[in-house]
Structure formats: C-alpha cells, structure tokens
Structure 1
Amino acid sequence: MGGSTNPLSLFLLCFTTFLTLFEVSISTDTLTSSQSLRTNQTLLSPNAIFELGFFSYTNSTWYLGIWYKTIHDRDRTVVWVANRDIPLQTSLGFLKINDQGNLVIINQSQKPIWSSNQTTTTPSNLILQLFDSGNLVLKEPNENDPKKILWQSFDYPTDTLLPGMKLGWNFDTGIEKHITSWSATNEDPSSGDFSFKLDPRGLPEIFLWNKNQRIYRSGPWNGERFSGVPEMQPNTDSIKFTFFVDQHEAYYTFSIVNVSLFSRLSVNSIGELQRLTWIQSTQVWNKFWYAPKDQCDNYKECGAYGVCDTNASPVCQCIKGFRPRNPQAWNLRDGSDGCVRNTELKCGSDGFLRMQNVKLPETTLVFVNRSMGIVECGELCKKNCSCSGYANVEIVNGGSGCVMWVGELLDVRKYPSGGQDLYVRLAASDVDDIGIEGGSHKTSDTIKAVGIIVGVAAFILLALAIFILWKKRKLQCILKWKTDKRGFSERSQDLLMNEGVFSSNREQTGESNMDDLELPLFDFNTITMATNNFSDENKLGQGGFGIVYKGRLMEGQNIAVKRLSKNSGQGIDEFKNEVKLIVKLQHRNLVRLLGCSIQMDEKMLVYEYMENRSLDAILFDKTKRSSLDWQRRFNIICGIARGLLYLHQDSRFRIIHRDLKASNILLDKEMNPKISDFGMARIFGTDQTEANTMRVVGTYGYMSPEYAMDGIFSVKSDVFSFGVLVLEIISGKKNRGFYSANKELNLLGHAWKLWKEENALELIDPSIDNSYSESEVLRCIQVGLLCVQERAEDRPTMASVVLMLSSDTASMSQPKNPGFCLGRNPMETDSSSSKQEESCTVNQVTVTMLDAR
C-alpha cells in the first residue's frame, strides 16, 4: 500500500521554495539567537549604509558578506567576506548563532562550514548586530561596552580596511589584522596572493607582500605620516590618519570627519594598494592614492646603501661616499646589488652625512628610544662602531626620538620634498671630500662650549663679510650697457659682444635705447654656492641646451639656473636669444630672467624659481591631473593667452616664440602660468608679418602646417600652438600619440569630429569634477579649434582670442578644418620591427617620420 501526502506539508514545502527565489531584507539590523539568515535575506545597518547577506557571482558558490547599501555602483562593492575560502555550494545554506554562542554558516547538509570560533564564556541570549560603520558584532543584548564584545568582523578584515578598522597587532591577544586581496579575478573573493601587513619589530612599518616576497613598504610613522608616503597629508575636513604603538598593541587606522564621505583602503588582485573615495556626482570610486606607483616604490630597488630617485636618470644612485657594488649591472640600470663604501670606517674619527627629504631605510631591525633627542642619538651612534646611521623617530615639533641602524641601510628613497633627515655614517675623509651636509653631534660639554664660541665668532665674521659684499654689490652688481656708472664692466661687455649676444650695431636689432637696459651679472662662485656645487640633488631637468638646477641665494631667494652645455651649439644660440629677448620683457605671464653669469666657457642664465615646475608634469600625470580643476585650467588658458598677446602686440618688439608647448609653460605656487624658454624665439619688425627659415625648429604636435612644411612662421604659428595647448588642457591628452579607438585621429582630429557631431563636451578630462560651466568649456573648445585651423589667415589674432575667452557675448565664427595628422598609413601594421612609421597629411603634403622604438 502506497503512502499518502499531507496537503499542508506540500503547501509549506512549495511556499518555502517560492521564498528562496526572492531576496528578503529583514527590517532590522539585528539577528537573535532564535533566528537564522537565509541566502535570500539580508540585515541592514540602522541608517541603511551597509548590508549583510549572501551573494554569488556564479549561482554555484555562495558567500556571506557585507557591502555598501547606499552606493549604487555597477558592481556591488563588497567590503568583507566571512567564508571567502569555504563557499556554500548551493543557495540552501543559512547563518545562525549556535548553542555554543558561535556564529556559524550551515550548508545544505546541515553541517557548519564556517564558524567565528570565539572561546569566551557565552550566555544563552546573544545577538548579531550590523553597525553603520560596517562592523558586524556578536554581543549580549544592550551591551555597549566595546571591550565586552564577544566577536566582531573588524578583527578579521578581508581585502578592505574601513574607517575605524585597525591594521596591526594586539600583543595581549595575539590577534593580527591585515588585508589580503581577492583571488585572480574580481568575482572570486577567495584569498589571493597579495597582502598588506604591519611588521611590529623595531620601528613598526607596513609591508605589501606577494606571497612570501615583500614588494613595497610604507616606511615608519614619523608623527605626521608614513615616511614613504609624503603625499599622505591628513585633511582635517575629511580624513584623519592615526598610528598607535605601545606594549599592548600597534596599529594603523583612519577615520572620516565628513560623514557624507565614503573612503576605503584595499589591496586588489593585481597587487595594487589603493585609497578609494566615492564620488557621488559621477557615481564611481575615485583612486585617490595608490602604491606601488613607480619604480622607486619597488622594495629594495637600489639595494644596500642605494638611493632611488625618480627625478634622476638612472633612478638608482649611491649614497655619497659609496660606489656601485656591481658596476657592470649598475651601468645596465640594475641597482639591486646596491653600493659599498669608498673608504673603510675608523670608528673614533668617523663623521655623518645629512641626507634630506628621504624615505627612511627599513626599520624592522633597529634600535629605538623615543625619549632621546637627535643630539644624544648622534652621540650614541658615533660611540657604537656598528651604527651605520640615525634619525629622529618623529618629525613634529622640531623632531624627537632616536632610531639607529646597525648594518646595511636598505630601501632608501629620495623625494623632492616631504621626506625626513637621515644621518649616514661615513669615513672622515669622505665627509671632508663631500662637504658636511650635516654631522654628528659633539659629546663633550667643553667641546660644545668651544663650538658655540667658535660658531658665534664665525657668525659675526660671516655677517660682516656679507654686509661688505652687499655694499659692494649695491654699487657694482647692477650692470648696464654703458661702461660708466650705468654700464657693464668692460670685461663682461666684451664677453657678451664676443659671443654675439648683443650686436654693437643697434640698427640691426631695431633697438633705439639700449642704454636703459639693466642686467645683473652673477658671480660664478655665488651660483656654485647657491646650487650646492651643481649637485644632482638640485637638478630640476635636462635638455639639449644643458641642465637646469634649483638654487638658493644667500639672501634666501630661490632661483632656477640654466647651465648651458659647453659643447652645445644649441645652448649658445639659446643663451643669445634668452638674453636678448627675456631681459626686455616684463609681464606676469612670462618667466622673469634675473640675470646671467659668464666665466670663461661657463654661461648660465638665472631665472625666478617656479614651485610647481611645468604644466606637462601635472597635466599628463594621472596621479596629479585631478589637482587641476576646471577653474585652474581656465585660468591657465587665459594666462597663456595674455602672455602671448603681450609678445605679439604689447611688448617693445613683436616676438614669435616658435616653441610654445606644455613643457614650456611653468607654474608658480599659485598655479599661475608663465611662458618660458625663448631660445627659438624671433623678433619681428613693426611692419613685418611673416618670415621664412631653412631651419625648422620646434616640437612635433605643436607646429603649424605652414611652418612644418614650408618653414614659414608668423604670429599665427604661435596661435596654432596655443590652440593645441588649449585642447590638451581641456582633455588632459597629448596631441602627439593620441588616437581614438579606430586609430585614425589625433587629438585635433578627435576634437574636430566631436565638434561636428555636437558632442564636444565629451572631450573634457574625466578627472575634472562637474563644477564647470558648459558654456565656458564649449567656448574654450571653439577657441582652440579656431586657433588650429589649417589656413593661417583663418586663425584669429591673440587680441581676438583674449576677447573671446573673456567675454560671453563676443561673436565667434564657426571653425574650419584643422591642420592635423589624418592618422596612420592604411598599410601600416603593428609589427614588432625596430622602427615604426607614421604618415601624416597636412596641407596635401605627406611627411613620413621614423621613430625608433
């Protein structure tokens, strides 16, 4: 006899199956010990910021996780996963609090596959609560003391550090908290190869690991930030960073001051540590900071006693007083073997080299005393023959604490600014050869007293010498063209004349009153002292003309010194042009020439120093371009336009720059643009409109068609270059090498195509937020396209450009076809040959350029 089926049981079975097809949000943030959370249910934090539930990317494996509920990004942003390495194999599992007071996930076979495994004594009535911080907490009801929490998800991070989470160690419990990437794909939350862990030994710092290999380190905490993260500037209005260490725990954490801001730190599946911030206006996670971001972020890139500097070439340099251990590998730009001392140490007579703005060496095996000052630290290091260097633990309030290294100094990095001081032990002879940048501190009170007396006496003598020198300079330093009280010295004037810098025939230059011209002539030794003997640390850049150094005059003024190459004909030509032209020009949007220096075959130009260097260094850098919001970009465009108008119309001479490009636009500390580099410039007569040259100079991508093809240049040549600059500033893309998806158009062609399709706003750089005026952007794009028109006579003058940029009501014509590269040769392939050809069509003339790869 067959059995019968109970109708009620059948109904309940069908109803349960029906419910599993739909997600049900429990209207509370709490799960009690008598409840369970199934795969179709979720918990919501009190203000619905976070959600807890099961999720699946494949419908075959299920995970319990926490994600943002209020953020509606395309892919659910999961910030914590409980069973990341042991997924449910079906959707029939559930979460509950078991009789032992543990949080457990039960599978379809009614067996636990994951447990919180806390071992504390557990009462019978526990609750699981999800907070708005994203923390999932197991505790007694109505218990709000954080110290009495039985278990919390914040103690077990996965790949994400949320505000309030701690990354580090609790020495009392032995619990370590670190983050580990997801697996190879973004749809597999299982533990990946990359992890970010704090090493509590010595002076604690955090390392990024690839399995068992260190690939990046943060540097130790210096009281303001990690030594290896100079850009880590705490913003009291948004994010506050904290590092804490004592005998009980050591950890790093951060908090959000602005409650409307969402920010998280995570490590992704390709080994990139990222600080991500949610941009509400664009509905995307913005990568605010990341590491490793360059070659010098690679752990031990330059080996022992090597210094990595991204502004140097090659990036690896030996600390002064050291030489490459493996010269052959070093010359091949492999600095991993590091450096060795030039001279063996003699403990009692050794000195110390002060290195500034560096990331401190690895600090896991160091001596630390937080109560010592830097003087006592130096004395102790000098007495210990094994001590290789020392530094302050913290840099705030003038510096405090002592950290000493015994053995090799590893993973040192140089920064332009923002690092800290490191004192490196050197043999006394090496310190003497280098010149003491800093030194060990005297140990004897008598020696200190003598040192103070000698110092005071030296200061008085130095002040007296400076006063005498100042009085002498006041009478003689300002050199003029006459050989009497307003002229150059005869020797200086002869040197300039012999070099052809100035013509003795005033009619040749069109100058009627050069007697009024003033130009300070700097002493060579003054420039040498200002640039620290032209040290590599002061090097700002290098070109065909020579090298530019940063300097600081004795009176405290920062300068930029262009030291012309002795063997460069281009350098001499540039010197002649710069002195002839810039000294006559005074405009807020032109870089100012402060003077020059001539001694034998040394020729140098001295400029005002620009704190933010060149426009291209920010505009085309993915990590920096976001600092250029629309208002700053618009101000830069208008400033360049005003500077060009002055050159073309308002200066004493009509000057054609001929090499206007992003790298020749310098930015001061307020981001005001200044046109620089007049080595290629030409003076036009008042009635002259164009000229012809057999020597075409300039930069591909900025040259006008008529100049590139026929050597004809005029004010309209600069207008074309300005138009290219405008489109680059708006888009954040370089003209040369920019192609759209079909690889047919460069930046000008791409902008022209968008304009014709009435989609010009698509050109704007995505890093610019939405706080821009659409009409202002469209006006700038239209001005840019008018300036790059193929025919010179169609382009506006700079006077018209300035008017169009400054007025909403100024009439503007529709742009015509620009002069631009039409794209690659249809026959071209992407072969891996040694050279690549690129064919460009301009004015119906084709030029083929070969660029070596």
Structure 2
Amino acid sequence: MTCTNHFFCFLYFVFAATLLSRIESKTADNLLKGFTVTPDASVTSFQPLLTDSNANYSLGLLRVNHTQLALVILHLPSSQQLWVATTNRSPRWSTSTQILFNGSLVISDKHSRVFWSTKTNGERVYLANTSNLQIHGQDSILWQSFDFPSDTLLENQNFTSHMTLNSANGLYYMRLGYNFIGLYAKFSRHSGQDQNYYKHKAMEIKAKIIEGQGSIYASLSSDGFLGMYQNVTAPIDIQSFSSFQQFNPGNRILKIESDGNLKGYYWTGSSWILDYQAIPEFCELPSSCGPYGLCHRGKGCSCLNNETEYSSGKCESSENNSGDFCSLRDSKYKVLRKNGVELPYKEQMVYEQMNTLEQCERSCKDSCKCWGAVYSNTSGFCYMIEYPIQTLVSVGDDSKVGYFKVRDSAGSNKVAIGLGIGAVLFCGAVLVFGWAVVIWRRKRRVSRAYVEGESGVVGVGPYKDLASESFSSIELSERR
C-alpha cells in the first residue's frame, strides 16, 4: 500500500500504533517499574492489565456494584474469578484510583491512601500460565498470589498451615490443623471463637505424620484428588474426586463456597463440572436454612417457631443475630423450645453430661454468652451454643430437645418506642384539649355574667366594673 496523502498516512500510523499498544497492554505478560493505570470509565465489567502466555488467565480490574473495583485474576474462557486482592475498604471506580508498580504492586488513590500493596522491591510483575501472579526480583520470586489465596485453590498450588481460604461473603474459611483439614464459621463477632463445623483427619495410610518434620500442607492434584502431605512424596491422606485418575485436559479448582461447603470442579473446555463436595448433604451445611431455620432431610426448610413462613427465606430478623446477652441493652429475650431437633455438626461441638433437661436449660439461662442449648434425654449430652442460632436439623426423636433464646429485635424496640411516644403525644393532646374546654367554659360563664349584669343582676368581680365604667371609656377613645 502506498500513501498519496502524507496527512492521512500520518493518521493511519498513529491509529495503528495506538491499536497495537492497546493490544499489547491487554496481552502483555509483564509489567515493569513505572507502570500506572486508572479505571476506564467506559468499561462496564472487566479491564485487563496482564495476560498469561496461553491467554487463559488475566489480571485486571473488576467493576463491582458499578462504583467500586477489585483487582482480580480471571479464568478468561469462563470469567471465573480465581483470586482477588484483599483490601480493608473498597476502592472507587474513578480516575482518582490508580494501580501502579513501583517495585510493589499497589492500589491507591490521589489522596495517598494505600488500599493494598505487595510490599516488595521487585523488577517486574509476571502472570504465569498457572494463574500465579508473581513479583520478580533480579534472581528470585519476591511475592506470589499462590501464597495468598482468596477463595480458590488451583492445581498443584500448595496450601499450608499459614494460609486461609475465605468464602466470598466472609462467613466461612478453611484452615489446616496438625493432622486435619478444617472448615470454620464466623457466626459471632463477640465470642472471639469461630465454630468448627467440618473436620477431615488424615488417614495416614500411605505415609505417617512424623513429629518435628514440619507442618502438613494440602495440594490439588491434576489426577483428581485433594492430598495432604508432610515433606514427603507419598501423601498422608487422599480425598478422591469423582473423576479420580480420569484423563482431564482442563483445569481443576477447589473453592469454598458462600454456603460454607468446600467444592471441587474441573473445566471441560466449555463449563465447570462439580467433581467433589466435602459436605454432600444439604442439611449438614452450617446454616442451610438460615438463622433459626429448621432443615428437613429431603424436604426443605421451615422455621423453628412453627409460626413464621419460610417462603421469605428468613425465620428471624437479622437484628436478632446482632449483639449478645451480656450487655444490659441486649439482655432481653424470649425463649423458644423445640422437640425433635439436633445440630448438623454436633460431632464438632463441645458438650457436657447433665442429668436433666432442666439442668441443661438452666446452664444456658445463667450464661450471658449462651444463645441456646440442645439436650438429648437418652445420652444426657448438653450442647451449649455460644453464637447466634443457625439452622437445626429435624429428627424423628422427641427426646432431643432444643432451648433457644430469641432477642427482642431492634425493630420491636423501635415500635415500642414509637408507641410510647404516640401515647405521650396523645395524653398531651387530651390535656391541652381539656384545658381549652375549661378556658372556654370560664369565658362563657363570664360573658353570661356580663350580660346579666346589664339587666340589674349582680356581676362577677372586675367584669362588672369593666362593664359599668371602663367600657364607656373605650367607646370614647374609639370615637376620637
């Protein structure tokens, strides 16, 4: 092609250079020092910054709720979020927010507030074709996203005892113990202790845990299993997936979901297929039917109080699950009892042996930290619940009895306050009306006395004087 017009040739080359620079910025697998970018106002979902060499994964800005942003890694064929930079507060999707690399990868704004930083002194940012985001120094990796997982683990990503896998809603997380994988729930802000609702202990069939040889770690194998290891080749435990040892050309992930379950998936090339569930039964999930819900195996949900319809998806106001019973303001509650119920994860709950149901209830009643208790008349086990009541499981055994405290909701308090104010205003209105009637009657009586005084009837005090003397003076003054 030959250019006959120098001006159009110049425009063409400028356009081509701009287009190529945009393509390179979207497909680059490195970011160097001095890189800076701000959110693009025209982008409605995802603004890519960095892509791996196979174009399967991309680091970029995800637009959240129209006005906020998150720095994430996406699986491009499915737009599945695999990693997110954890910030204390959400940055805004505006030109005042910037993502930069100055040795550290940083999210900040023009007011010098730093939302998130890798706190490194590296040379470049690199996205591997495993989705692992890395900060490289001159001859080493200074930081990598595989060391800071959010809610998802990838194939061959080591999960150590120093890491936590958190659900997107922040209610549930996975951690490793000395010899087990545990799932935990953050049911209470006040107790300071989270509830363990699932525990898988290492079977130690192929290898034993050796004390003093280091902590265990978990890893998702491309062969289709979740293994636990301790610095040895042979796993100390294997949890097989449905596709165990089957050829799978796609990717595998392990994710803690917002319902608290731990699930495994594999990518078929067009969709993610469920391959594993740590908790296969719906009623065994930590809060399958929500607070104060009752789960019926194979039948769905209802409410513990038998009065509230579950069609709304809620059995108690969320206000009933805030606060505690140790403060004077929140100490008022009503009692709810229910037969034929048990906790979905009672194997992980602490219990005490007690002689009677009354003793179990009294122990909970006397403790301001206790939200409820479940008692078995057969075994004498009393399970104390020191967090807001979640879902219970319906069982065909009336010897298992639940005792639950239900806080007076803030809504009820507001109604009570409103009624009180209304009553005060009503009483005030009655008093004002009564006083007005008294004044009106007095004036009427005076007027009558004044009229009768002109007819020769003795008047009342000064009104008689006013009628006989002063009134003529007023008339004279008006005439003037």
Which TM class, normalised by the smaller chain length? 0.3 to 0.5
Structure having the larger proportion of residues in strand: 2
Of structures 1 and 2, the one scoring higher in RCO (CA 8 A, sep 6+) is: 2
Larger radius of gyration: 2
What TM-score, normalized to structure 2?
0.45
